[in-house]
Amino acid sequence: MDRLTPRQRQVLAWLGLPRWVPRQAPTGAEPEPAAPAPAEVAPLPVADAAPAGGASLAEVVAAAEEVPALDWPGLHAAIAACERCGLCRDRQRAVPGEGNRQAELLVVGEAPGAADEQAGRPFAGPSGRLLERMLAAIELSREQVWLTNAVKCRPPEQRRPAAEEVAACRPWLQRELALVAPRAVLVLGGVAAQSLLARDEPVSELRGRQRLPGDGAPPVVVSWHPAYLLRRPADKRGAWADLKQVMELLRDERRP
C-alpha cells in the first residue's frame, strides 16, 4: 500500500529514487563515495576594480553610486543596457531576475546559460527544471520566489564567470536583494556564494547556513548549483539536506 504523502513523492521524484526508504540505524554498509568538491575559484577583487574590456573605473564607480536609488523598472533598464564588463560585447541580451518581488526566498545562481539568454529569464533550461523540482520538494513554486544570477550576461562557451565580471554585476544583485528584502537566501554555486559572501572557499566547505555581512541581513544557505547536480546526482541527497535548512529558516523567520 502506498502511504506516501504528496511532499514525500515530490522529494522522491527530485532525488530520483523509486520508493521511500525509511531512516534506519547504520548496518555497517559501505558509505556512498564522496563526490569530488567543485573546483576552487579565485578570490574576487575589491568591488571597485575596473572590469576588463568594459567601462572605465570612474564609470563603474559612478554607476555603482546610482544603483541604490533604482526602482524595479530602473534596475531592469540598467541591467539591459549594462556595459560594465566585456560580456556586453557578445551577448544577445542581459538576463535580469524574475519572480515574486515580495518573496520570502531569494535564489541566486551563477550566470545565464544559452537557454536563459534565448528566453530572457533565469533558470530556463534543464537546470531550471531541476530547480523547480527542488523548490516543489519544499512546497514552493517558481512564481513564489525571486530567481536571479550573480552575473546577468552569459559568458561565452559556457565558461565560468571571471572574477571581474562577477564584481561588475555585484551592485545589481545587491539592489535586487534590497528591493525584495527576503526572509532567507538560497545561494547556488561557488560564483554566487563569492558574490554575496565575499568568500573564496569551494561550495563543499561553504554549504549550510551562512550570514550576509551587515546588520539585519537575511540568513543564507549555500548549496550546489542544479547544473552541478545534473552532472553529480549522488550529491542530491546533500542538496536535500540544504533545502531542509531553507525550510527551517523560513519557518523560524516567520516567528514573532
pLDDT in tens, 195-216: 988 888 889 898 987 777 666 7
Residue 26 lies in a domain: no
Residue 171 lies in a domain: yes
Q: CATH no. for residue 59?
A: 3.40.470.10
Q: What mean pLDDT comes out for the span 226-250?
A: 95
Q: Give the number of domains in the chain.
A: 1
DSSP 45: P
Rounded to the nearest integer, the mean pLDDT of the chain is: 79
Domain hosting 182: range is: 44-254
Q: How far apart are CA 230 and CA 7, in angstroms?
A: 21
pLDDT in tens, 104-116: 999 999 999 999 9
Collect all residues with Cβ–Cβ distance below 8 Å to 136 and sequence separation of at least 6: 10, 14
Q: What mean pLDDT comes out for the span 115-142?
A: 95
Encoded amino acid at 163, one letter? A
Residue 12 lies in a domain: no
Residue 135 lies in a domain: yes
Q: How confident is the model at residue 42 (pLDDT cuts 50, 70, 90)?
A: very low
Residue 225 lies in a domain: yes
Q: How far apart are CA 113 and CA 155, in angstroms?
A: 8
- Give residue 9's pLDDT: 58
Residue 25 lies in a domain: no
CA distances 33 to 89, 191, 206, 234, 239, Å, are 43, 25, 20, 9, 16
- What is the number of residues in the chain? 256
Output Rg (C-alpha) for the chain, integer angstroms: 19
- pTM higher than the cut 0.85: no
pLDDT in tens, 151-197: 999 999 889 899 999 999 999 999 999 999 999 999 999 999 989 88
Encoded amino acid at 226, one letter? P
Residue 248 lies in a domain: yes
pLDDT in tens, 50-86: 333 444 444 544 455 678 889 999 999 999 999 989 8
